[in-house]
Chain A
Amino acid sequence: MAQTQQKSRWLPHPILSLALWLIWLLLNNTFAPGHMVLGAVLAIVIPMLTAGFWQERVCVRAPGTLAKYFLVVLWDILIANVVVAKLILSPNRKLQPGFFVIDLDARHPLAISLLANTISLTPGTVSCDVSPDQKQLLVHALHLEDEAATIHDIKTRYEAPLNKVLPPC
């Protein structure tokens, strides 16, 4: 679906505004009308005041893929937690920690940071560094058995959907 939206003056970042509004309501733990209005005012004013920090354009495509991505990540966190718990409780000498480098296909900065975040959240791997040209991601794994398989997993499970949701634009 082609979106030829131009930045509106009042709502330059609709997704950010929506997020701020929801966070405000959650913080107050209420859906009272007064807070809805106050939250709406904040959701409009804050993005306007901080517009200088939000240079990149974010266009979210395929929200269904995004929802599926969150479920996949939650499930993987669950599984990986059990796996890493076993690793931690087993003797240290069995561990085979290692660094590996992922060649990134994602180009959007937000997609890269979300990918790095996901890698760190799923236990067993921590993203350590991004190359200066933002084309490679350095990852440390607690127990690295098959480097190629791990990279393939990360690329197909996380990077491909992220790239679909946040294409460079």
Chain B
Amino acid sequence: MEWILSALILIGAGFTLVGSIGLAKLPDFFTRLHGPTKATTLGVGAILIASALYFSTRQEGISLHELLITLFLFITAPVSAHLMAKAAIHLKTRMLKRTQGTPDFKNNQN
């Protein structure tokens, strides 16, 4: 049991670290957006599963409110990413020269 928990926490920490590294080193705003969405999904997910397992086995009764944290994160993280991306497009934030495509819809007229 301890091994599973340790592995889960390490996986979670590892992915959160990679997400933060991405936030620091990626070249432009839009690519940097991808870091946090990663860290919240698998990183926090793995840590929360570990927490739920630990408190379910160590204490009487099962502990499930970690599920709620996951649920709320899964709802809020994409929304905030979406809003930031929308704002960045509106402000015409600098982006990598080699970015393919443009942040426009094909038929804007309708």
Q: Does B64 sit at the interface, judged by CB under 8 A?
A: yes
Tell me the chain A residues, 94-127 only, with Cβ under 8 Å from chain B: 95-101, 116-117, 119-121, 123-124, 126-127
SS of B interface (majority): helix
Given the complex, which residues of B lie within 8 Å of A98, measured CB to CB?
Answer: 99-101
Interface residues in B25-43 by Cβ distance below 8 A to A read: 25-28, 30-31, 33-35, 37-38, 41-42
Closest to B88 in A: A128
- Contact partner of A129 (CB less than 8 A), chosen from B34, B35, B71, B89, is B89
**Given known contacts A89-B18, A128-B86, is B31 in contact with A96 (CB within 8 Å)?**
no
Q: Quick one: CB contact mask for A127-166 with B, threshold 8 Å, 1 for yes?
A: 1110101001010101010010000000000000000000
B65 and A77 form a contact (CB under 8 A): no
Q: Among B25, B81, B101, which residue has its beta carbon within 8 angstroms of that of A100?
A: B101
How many A-B contacts if CB must be within 8 Å? 132
* A126 and B82 within 8 A (CB): yes
List B contacts of A119 (CB < 8 A): 78
Residues of A within 8 A of B22 (CB): 84, 88
Query: Do residues A142 and B103 form an inter-chain contact, with CB atoms below 8 A?
Result: no
Interface pair B34/A142, CB less than 8 Å apart: yes
| Whole-angstrom distance between the Cβ of B77 and the nearest chain A Cβ | 7
A142 in contact with B31 given A77-B41, A121-B41 (CB within 8 Å): yes
| A17–B36 CA distance with the chains assembled, in angstroms | 31
| Residue from B61, B78, B101, B103 in contact with A121 in the complex, judged by beta carbons closer than 8 Å | B78
Question: Quick one: given A85-B18, A88-B26, A142-B34, are A96 and B100 in contact (CB under 8 Å)?
Answer: yes
Contacts of A81 in B (CB 8 A): 15, 38, 41-42
> Given the interface contacts A26-B65, A27-B68, does A126 sit within 8 Å of B99 by beta carbon?
no
Q: List the interface of chain B (C-beta within 8 A of A).
A: 15, 18-19, 21-22, 25-28, 30-31, 33-35, 37-38, 41-42, 45, 61, 63-65, 67-68, 71, 74-75, 77-79, 81-82, 85-86, 89, 95-96, 98-106, 108, 110
- Name 26 A/B residue pairs within 8 A (Cβ), A-sorted: A29-B63, A78-B42, A84-B34, A85-B15, A88-B35, A88-B38, A96-B98, A96-B100, A99-B101, A100-B100, A101-B101, A116-B78, A117-B74, A117-B78, A119-B78, A120-B77, A121-B37, A123-B37, A126-B33, A127-B82, A127-B85, A128-B85, A128-B86, A140-B103, A142-B31, A147-B101
- Which A residues are closer than 8 A to B by beta carbons? 23, 26-27, 29, 77-78, 81, 84-85, 88-89, 92, 95-101, 116-117, 119-121, 123-124, 126-129, 131, 133, 136, 138, 140, 142, 144, 147
